[in-house]
């Protein structure tokens, strides 16, 4: 009877054990496997696989496309969050749904759409090619596909955060005579910085790791249009497992950093919200009265 609202000790232990075994088999073991496969033939081979010119060019292309996609989607995400969380306008829920659309589409279909738009045999693609710009099977296509699949992350992270914080502080700043830009920089930004950081980190992780959409538009030209994930695929299909897993381990490290940042951000938000949760709870209590 120690605690009424929980199960008996054996039940707890069995359930916990089953859950942990499941997580170990399905999540942890694959992660360990990546590093094991990459390193079990020694550091030397590992490093060789990474500095090999084709791997190196894939790393560079990945960095470039992330460096373009992340800032663009950052600006977009902040703008969208400001418009949606701070103003009431017609069609707001439609806009929110449209922003989420890239999540609902298979990455392969996303790539397909860009081929239909900019492929060599389409009007837009033909025109661009005549003017010296190839989109599909080239770097611009890869960047476009990356921007598409990472489109919603920052906005998705910021909108609920800014909605829950409310506009009171910003309105106070405006009343006190601050300009719009000052208000954003000195009031909004400090309040959303952790959520923003997490949104950016997620965008970056997805940008560097995207496979399906990029695969469709890249054309797989070695040393030219291969990102790290595409390079991993090629090496793996050539049975160069050490090379494939060496490149994969870079991406796995990136994933671990992402998880770490996420934990930090959650911890910060939790601390930040602890005081305000108490206030909200009180307000809700009062609101619950008829």
Partner 1 sequence: MSTILNLRHSVLPGFRLSFGITLFWLALIVLLPFAALVYSTVGMGWDGFLAAVGSERVMASIRLSFATAGLSALINLVFGFLVAWVLVRYPFPGKRLVDALVDLPFALPTAVAGIALTTLYAPNGWIGQFLAPLGIKVAFTPLGIIVALTFIGLPFVVRTVQPVLEDLEKELEEAATCLGASRWDIFRRVIFPATLPSLITGGTMAFARATGEYGSVIFIAGNIPLVSEIAPLIIVSKLDQFDQQGATAVALVMLGISFVFLLLINLIQWWAARRHGAGR
Partner 2 sequence: MSIEIRNIRKQFGQFTALDNVSLDIAAGELLALLGPSGCGKTTLLRIIAGLEKPDAGQVLFGGADATHTHVAERQVGFVFQHYALFRHMTVFDNVAFGLSVKPRRERPSAEEIRERVMKLLKMVQLDWLADAYPGQLSGGQRQRIALARSLAVEPKVLLLDEPFGALDAKVRKDLRRWLRELHNDMHITSVFVTHDQEEALEVSDRVVVMDHGHIEQVGRPDDIYEHPATPFVTQFLGDVNLFHGRVDAGQLTIGSYEQALGQHQDADGDAAVAYVRPHDLDLTLQADGALAQGRVEHIHAVGPVVRVELQQADGQTIEAAVSKERFRALGIVPGDTVYVTPRKLAVFLKDAAGQQDYVI
End-to-end CA distance of the chain: 37
161 binds partner 1 (CB under 8 A): no
Quick one: what does residue 54 bind among partner 2, partner 1, none, with the CB cut-off 5 to 8 Å set by partner type?
Answer: none
| Closest CB to partner 2 among residues 123, 285 | 285
Cα-flanking dihedrals φ and ψ of residue 225, to 5°?
Answer: -115, 35
Q: Token pair of 253, please?
A: 């490290």
Nearer to partner 2, 2 or 94 (CB): 2
Q: From the list 51, 104, 123, 288, which residue makes contact with partner 2 (rule: CB under 8 A)? A: 288
Query: Which 88-147 positions form the footprint of partner 1 (CB under 8 A)?
Result: 88-91, 95, 98-99, 101-102, 104-117, 119, 121-122, 144, 147
- Kindly tell me which residue out of 45, 57, 76, 139 binds partner 1, with binding defined by CB under 8 A: 76
- Residue (of 40, 43, 59) closest to 241 by Cα position: 40
Query: Rounded CA gap, 68 and 63, in Å?
Result: 9
Q: CA 80 to CA 74: how far, in whole Å?
A: 10
What is the 3-class SS of 55-66, one letter each residue?
HHHHHHHHHHHH
Residue 167 is classified by DSSP as S
Q: From partner 2, partner 1, none, which one binds at residue 282 (CB under 5 to 8 Å depending on kind)?
A: none
Alpha carbon distance 167, 114 (integer Å): 38
Work out what residue 285 binds among partner 2, partner 1, none; the CB cut-off runs from 5 to 8 Å by kind. partner 2
- 2 part of the interface to partner 2, by CB under 8 A: yes
Residues between 139 and 168 that touch partner 2 (CB under 8 A): none
* Interface positions with partner 2 (CB under 8 A): 1-2, 4, 285, 288-290
């Amino acid at each position: 009877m120690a605690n009424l609202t929980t199960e008996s000790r054996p039940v707890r232990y069995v359930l916990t054990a089953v859950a942990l075994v499941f997580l170990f088999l399905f999540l942890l073991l694959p992660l360990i496997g990546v590093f094991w496969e990459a390193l079990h033939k020694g550091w030397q081979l590992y490093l060789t696989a990474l500095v090999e010119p084709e791997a190196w060019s894939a790393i560079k292309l990945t960095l470039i496309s992330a460096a373009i996609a992340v800032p663009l989607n950052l600006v977009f995400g902040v703008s969208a969050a400001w418009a949606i969380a701070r103003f009431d306008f017609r069609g707001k829920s439609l806009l929110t749904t449209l922003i989420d659309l890239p999540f609902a589409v298979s990455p392969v279909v996303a790539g397909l759409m860009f081929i239909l738009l900019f492929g060599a045999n389409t009007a837009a693609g033909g025109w661009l090619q005549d003017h010296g710009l190839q989109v599909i099977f080239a770097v611009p296509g890869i960047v476009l596909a990356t921007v598409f699949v990472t489109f919603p992350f920052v906005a998705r992270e910021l909108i609920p955060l800014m909605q829950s914080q409310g506009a009171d502080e910003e309105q106070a700043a405006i009343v006190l005579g601050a300009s719009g830009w000052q208000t954003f920089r000195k009031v909004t930004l400090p309040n959303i910085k952790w959520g923003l950081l997490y949104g950016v980190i997620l965008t970056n992780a997805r940008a560097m790791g995207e496979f399906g959409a990029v695969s469709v538009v890249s054309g797989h030209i070695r040393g030219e249009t291969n990102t790290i994930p595409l390079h991993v695929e090629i090496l793996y299909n050539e049975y160069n497992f050490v090379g494939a897993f060496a490149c994969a381990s870079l991406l796995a490290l990136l994933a671990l950093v992402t998880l770490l940042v996420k934990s930090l951000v959650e911890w910060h938000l939790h601390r930040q919200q602890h005081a305000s949760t108490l206030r909200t709870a009180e307000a809700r209590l009062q609101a619950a009265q008829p």
